[in-house]
Structure 1
Amino acid sequence: MVSLHRTIRNLRRVGLREWWRQMQYIGDAKSGRLVGTDAFGNRYFENMDATEEIPGRHRWVDFAQHEYHASQVPPEWHAWLQHIRAHPPAEDALIKRMTQPWQAPWQENLTGTRGAYKPYNTVAPKINTWQPKVIARA
């Protein structure tokens, strides 16, 4: 439910460049408070004004990369976006306590890319392909 008045109001708030970027990436003009950023450079926003946003769409992420997908959102930010956690990770004391030094940093899902995991096979194949033998004629 995007009205012309709402679009113009958000254009004034965020500026022409950011408004154009939002229209290209998310197809909507939004303005809100910057809540935080993650290790990938994604920015997270919130707009608590009930008259401006549709219920349930007042939290959103602005991806840093042009080619983006949902696995680029770390789990703690995903929990905040989906209203599982009330406070963003930067303000949530429980998430700060849960982070352990031995934990590996979050990595996006690389399936279908060059960085995908490929196991090393040590077993000889059961079926060998036929290779023609070339013999010189006498």
Structure 2
Amino acid sequence: MRFILSLITWYHGETLGTRLMTRFRGAKVGEDELGNIYYRNRDDSRRWVIYSGEPEASKVPAEWHGWLHHTFDENPAENPLPHKAWEKTHHDNLTGTALAYVPAGSIRREDPAERRDYEAWQPE
């Protein structure tokens, strides 16, 4: 079913064009810890990713994002970037989900804060 959906839509995985380009012109460069597979063409003018699961751009780690956009010449599979002790591990974008950050006082919170510094205007 996924193959049929990929023929007519882009959001169910790679499209037919991407699948053919990857098969005939792509050279596998590496894979990240999330299962995404990275490719390039022969002259390294194009770089792309085939996502594992749902195509979500926030699933690309920072080092691979830099490689995809030609910021780094060496791919992170062969020459990984050094990580600092204070760096957090990569996680998906949670915007629009139940786990999204909601600040205090937001109307989206289950327990909105009571505001005492605001007085609603009433016409006389």
Say if 2:40 and 2:47, in contact at 8 Å, map to a contact too. Answer: yes
Match of 1:65 among 32, 49, 53: 53
**Residues 1:20 and 1:45: Cα distance change in structure 2 (over 3 Å):** farther
Structure with bigger helix share is 1
| 2:38 partner SS | strand
Distance 1:91 1:22 in 2: 31
User: Would the aligned equivalents of 2:104 and 2:113 in 1 still touch at CA under 8 Å?
Assistant: no
TM-score by length of 2: 0.63
Q: How does 1:101-116 map to 2 (within 5 A)?
A: 101-116=85-100
Query: Counterpart of 2:88 in structure 1: which amino acid?
Result: A
* Counterpart position of 1:13: none
User: Is it true that 1:124 corresponds to 2:114 in the alignment?
Assistant: yes
5+ residue gaps, structure 1: 1-18, 128-138
Alignment partner for residue 31 of structure 2, among 37, 42, 46? 37
Secondary structure in 2 aligned to 1:45?
A: strand
Matches within 5 A, 1:1-138: 25-28=14-17, 29=20, 30-31=22-23, 32-48=26-42, 50=43, 56=45, 58-66=46-54, 68-92=55-79, 95=81, 98-121=82-105, 123-126=113-116
Aligned length: 100
Which TM-score applies when normalising by structure 1? 0.58
Flag structure 2 segments of 5+ consecutive residues without an equivalent. Answer: 8-12, 106-111, 119-124
**Superposition deviation, residue 119 in structure 1:** 2.8
